[in-house]
Structure formats: C-alpha cells, structure tokens
C-alpha cells in the first residue's frame, strides 16, 4: 500500500514537473515575445474575470443563504433547495443558451427591433460575447459553492450575537452585515476561492465568447501556433495562479476558528411581509430563473428545432465514449482515493500526510495545465522509445502512451482525486479507531482490514465519490480537447465543436444530455439540504 500510495502521489505531481521543465526548456525569446504581445492581456483578462466572478458569487451566494436561513417568505422552502441546481450546469452550456437568446439574431433583440421599429445599428444592447458575459455565465453556475458553505455557517450560528446587535440598535440588515457575515467569513471565503479556482480553469465559456485568458492561451499556443514551449510557459503562469488561490483557500480554512455560540440558542426567523417578502422572493428566484429555467427552456427549444439525432449511430458513439471515460475514471479515482486515504489512516505521520496533500493538488490545477504537463514528458518518452525500436528492431511503435485513452483517464484522475478523497474522509471519519484495533487483534492485515471492514462500511460514501467524479468527467472540456485520441469525441467536445461552428441548435442536444447527467449529484445535494433544514 505504501508503494502504491507513493506512486499515486508521484503521478499527481507529474503535471507540475512536466510544465515546469517544459517551460524552462523553452527559449527566452519565446517568453519575451509572449510578454510583449499576449501574456499581459491574458493575465489581465484572467484576473478581471476572477474578481468579477468572486464579487458576483459572494453577493448572490451569501445573500440567498441568509434569506433562506434567517427569514420567512412565500416559496422559501422550495427555493432553499432550488438554489443548488445551477451547480449541475457547465458554464459553457449557459453560454450557448444565452447566445441563442441575446445575440444580434436572437429572439430578444429581434423582438426589440420588431416592436420598436429600430434598425440594426439604431440601438445599443449589451454584448453577451464579452468578458462581462463570461463572468455572468460563470457566476450563475458557481454561486452555489458560496451558497452551500454560507448556508451551513448561518445554520451553525447562535442567536445570541445577532440578538445582541439588534438590542444595540442595529436593523436586521445591519446585524447581518456587521455580525452574521463576519462570523461566517471563513466559510464564505472558502466558497469564493473555490469559485475562483473553477473560473481560472474554465475554457469552454471564455473560448466561445472570444475572451483571451490564460486558459485559452494554452490551447491557442498548442494547436493554432504549434508552439509547445509557449503553451508550457503560459501553463506555468496559470499553474502559479491556481496554486496561489489553493494556498489562500487552505490558509483561510486553517485559520477558521470562529465561535458560533451555543447552538441551542436557535435563531428565530424574521417574518417578511408585503414588499419585503416580494423582494426576498425575487432575490432568491432570479438566480434560479436565469441559472436553470431560462437555459433549460432555451436549450429545449433549440434541440427541438435541431437536425441532430441523439439516437443516431454517431451520437451513440459520442455517448459511449463519454460513458467509457467517465466510468473508467470513476473506478480508478475512487480506488486511488481509498488507497491514499487508507495509507494516511493506518500509518499516520509526515510521509502519509505528504502523500495525501500531494494527491489533493490536482483540484487546483486546470485541465489544460494537466494536459500539457502530461503530454510533454510522455510524448518525449514515446518518441524516444519509437526511435530506439526503429534503430534496434526496425519496428515503429508510434505513440503508445500519448495517443491512448488511459493517459486521458490519468489526467482526469489527477484533476478529480481531491473530490473522491473528500468523500472518503467524510465516510471514514464515522468509523472509530477501536474498530481498526479490534480487526487487527483478530488477525486482519492492512489489506484485510480495508477489504472486510472499511469498504463495506464506506460503500455509500464511495458510490457518492464515484458519482461526483463521473459527472465531472462528463463536463470536462479542456483536457479532453487537448488529450483525446484521434477521432475520439465526447458529448462535451461535440457540443463545443458545434457551438464553435455557430450551430447552436445542434450544440443544444449534447448540452442537454450533459446537464441531465449533472443533475444526479445535485439531487443528492438537494436531499441533504432538505434534510438539514434549520
């Protein structure tokens, strides 16, 4: 187990090393050219996008969480659960839907021109394909990170401090700003930083909207310019940005030592009536309306008018490829999480903690960076092996590893292993150490303890982990675009290709399938939210 866990940790750190060595192997002229031309623009766009999404997710997630926990208004119980649903949508799917609605030939602008009698150049309308549009799409699908964590923090708060602020003359809103939010700050900031990490990892939305970020720069350098050194150097910059955010999130989580007071002092809900109730209802309904209802209606209308046949042989192939990759990755990732987590539990100490921490690093690394970090060293290995086999035996081996599905599965595993480890730790924490000791006394070794005790008890947690990884793989786009074998397309790739060709009606069909699959873990989250109401 020690050897396997250490090997898994090495695999997880391999993309970091691959990007570093590839970037250092590039010429200084390439880096200087990037700095003089595109890199400042990429960095500025990425930073601006992170700031906009951070502000948006903070406002929507925190405000909605406080309203559903601290107040009472019509529809609150339904909205408390519905606010989680946008998490099922990839941001690029929303981008396709809103482009169909809001672009110049879309139904909104067409209706405005017809009703108002305007010509094409006689009015101004916000451009959906812009940095602001990308920030809006990402905010609508990422605010549930903040909402879920802020909601949990508000539920844990005691009424004493809030009531003390009210007694000192603060209004409910003033007490919310000066007491509730500061006390929930660690949870809220953790959610904002998670949203920020997802933002810098996004490729589909910014690429479709033509926003030049570090993520799109990697793809452009790799495929359009055929400059792997430039792609590696941009990847190194994005990796540094991602690790900085991950460090901030970890430090924020490590300093979270707030006393919420005694939980027995339950907060009484503030009854809202009239205009205030309507405002609260609108504030919670708007994210659900624009993050779920409008996109689903738009995509459904687009799909009905599309010529794409979901049951054709071609689409069955796309679905089969997606399911194959998602299933294989889920099994491999859960097995890796069990091995790494069990090593840390059975042999606690610095080595096992280091392995566990290293295995978690992938969650902060965008898929495009992982792809570059794996392709560069394995392509060199394949080329070296092929050259040696040609010279020695006259046999051409080709790309044994680089062009395989399994390298793509490894990339997915690195990206999503942290999520599986989190689910494993959530389940293993309920198993007392005395059970392990009793099993050891009865003669079970480490493997027997894992097989006969831990795994049977952990089955629900492991199934949850597998489901989360499965859905994440179905949605993953940048790593798939860069690493997939020739002529091996998934639903996400097909949706992106059709949208890039401006065939939005066709892109709606695979997009709806991706959303439908993404609803599975969200339904589990909704059940948890419904069961743990205040």
What confidence score (pLDDT) does residue 442 get?
76
What confidence score (pLDDT) does residue 51 get?
94
Do residues 499 and 388 lie in contact, with contact meaning Cβ atoms separated by under 8 Å? no
Burial zone of 513 (CB within 10 Å; 0-12 exposed, 13-18 middle, 19+ buried): buried
**Of 32, 65, 328, nearest in space to 185 by CA:** 65
| Residue 120 resides in a domain | yes
Out of 245, 280, 299, a domain closes at 299
318 shares a domain with 291? no
Kindly tell me the number of DSSP H helices and DSSP E strands found in the chain: 26, 2
396 shares a domain with 332? yes
For residue 65, give its domain range.
38-261+270-299
For the stretch 211-266, pLDDT in tens is: 999 888 888 877 776 677 778 888 888 888 777 877 776 676 555 554 444 444 55
| Residue 511 resides in a domain | no
What confidence score (pLDDT) does residue 252 get?
63
| Residue 255 resides in a domain | yes
285 shares a domain with 171? yes
Mean pLDDT by 10 residues, the chain (534 residues): 86 86 71 78 92 94 90 89 90 93 88 85 87 95 90 76 75 76 81 87 90 86 73 82 74 55 60 89 94 93 82 86 92 92 83 85 81 85 88 82 87 89 78 77 77 80 85 88 86 90 88 88 75 58
316 shares a domain with 294? no
What DSSP state is assigned to residue 218? H
- Structural domains of the chain, count: 2
User: Which CATH number fits the domain that encloses residue 139?
Assistant: 1.10.3720.10
Maximum distance among all Cα pairs of the chain, rounded to whole angstroms: 87
For the stretch 221-231, pLDDT in tens is: 777 766 777 78
416 shares a domain with 357? yes
| Residue 526 resides in a domain | no
129 shares a domain with 53? yes
Distance CA 50, CA 409 (A): 28
309 shares a domain with 292? no
| Residue 241 resides in a domain | yes
332 shares a domain with 287? no
Calculate the average pLDDT of the chain: 84
What confidence score (pLDDT) does residue 139 get?
96
315 shares a domain with 251? no
| Residue 509 resides in a domain | no
Query: At a CB cut-off of 8 Å and minimum separation 6, what does 171 contact?
Result: none
Other beta carbons within 10 angstroms of residue 245's beta carbon come to: 21
**Of 63, 60, 155, nearest in space to 532 by CA:** 155
339 shares a domain with 217? no
Distance CA 470, CA 329 (A): 7
């Amino acid at each position: 187990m020690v050897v396997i866990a250490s090997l898994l940790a090495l695999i997880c750190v391999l993309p970091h090393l691959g990007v570093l060595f590839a970037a250092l192997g590039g010429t200084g002229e390439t880096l200087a050219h990037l700095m003089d031309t595109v890199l400042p623009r990429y960095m500025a766009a990425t930073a601006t996008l992170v700031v906009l999404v951070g502000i948006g997710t903070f406002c929507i997630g925190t405000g909605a969480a406080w309203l559903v926990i601290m107040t009472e208004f019509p529809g609150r119980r339904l909205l408390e659960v519905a606010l989680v649903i946008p998490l099922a949508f990839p941001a690029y799917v929303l981008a396709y839907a809103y482009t169909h609605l809001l672009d110049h030939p879309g139904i909104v602008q067409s209706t405005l021109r017809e009703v108002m009698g305007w010509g094409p150049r006689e009015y101004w309308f916000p451009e959906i394909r812009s940095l602001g549009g990308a920030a809006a799409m990402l905010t609508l699908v990422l605010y549930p990170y903040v909402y879920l964590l802020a909601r949990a923090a508000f539920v844990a708060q005691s009424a004493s401090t809030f009531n003390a602020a009210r007694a000192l003359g603060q209004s409910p809103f003033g007490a919310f700003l000066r007491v509730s939010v500061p006390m929930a700050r660690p949870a809220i900031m953790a959610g904002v930083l998670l949203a920020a990490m997802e933002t810098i990892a996004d490729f589909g939305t910014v690429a479709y909207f033509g926003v030049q970020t570090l993520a799109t720069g990697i793809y452009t350098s790799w495929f359009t310019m055929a400059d792997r050194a430039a792609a590696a150097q941009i990847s190194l910059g994005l990796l540094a940005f991602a690790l900085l955010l991950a460090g901030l999130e970890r430090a924020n989580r490590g300093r979270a030592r707030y006393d919420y007071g005694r939980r027995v002092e339950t907060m009484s809900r503030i009854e809202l009536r009239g205009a205030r109730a309507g405002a609260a209802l609108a504030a919670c309904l708007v994210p659900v309306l624009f993050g779920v209802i409008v996109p689903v209606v738009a995509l459904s209308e687009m799909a009905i008018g599309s010529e794409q046949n979901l049951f054709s042989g071609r689409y069955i192939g796309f679905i089969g490829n997606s399911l194959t990759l998602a299933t294989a990755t889920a099994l491999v990732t859960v097995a890796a999480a069990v091995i790494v987590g069990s090593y840390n539990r059975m042999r606690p100490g610095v080595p096992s903690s280091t392995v566990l921490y290293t295995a978690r690093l992938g969650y902060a690394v965008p898929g495009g960076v992982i792809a570059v970090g794996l392709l560069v060293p394995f392509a060199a290995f394949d080329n070296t092996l092929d050259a040696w086999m040609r010279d020695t035996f006259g046999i051409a081996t080709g790309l044994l590893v680089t062009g395989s599905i399994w390298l793509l599965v490894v990339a997915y595993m690195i990206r999503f292993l942290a999520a599986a480890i989190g689910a494993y730790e959530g389940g293993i924490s309920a198993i007392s150490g005395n059970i392990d000791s009793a099993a050891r006394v009865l003669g079970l070794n480490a493997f027997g303890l894992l097989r006969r005790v831990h795994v049977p008890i952990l089955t629900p947690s492991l199934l949850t982990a597998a489901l989360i990884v499965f859905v994440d793989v179905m949605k993953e786009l940048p790593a798939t675009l860069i690493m997939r074998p020739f002529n091996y397309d998934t639903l996400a790739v097909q949706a992106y290709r059709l949208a890039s060709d401006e065939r939005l009606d066709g892109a709606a069909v695979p997009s709806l399938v991706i959303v439908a699959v993404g609803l599975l873990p969200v339904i589990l989250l909704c059940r948890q939210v419904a069961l743990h109401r205040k």
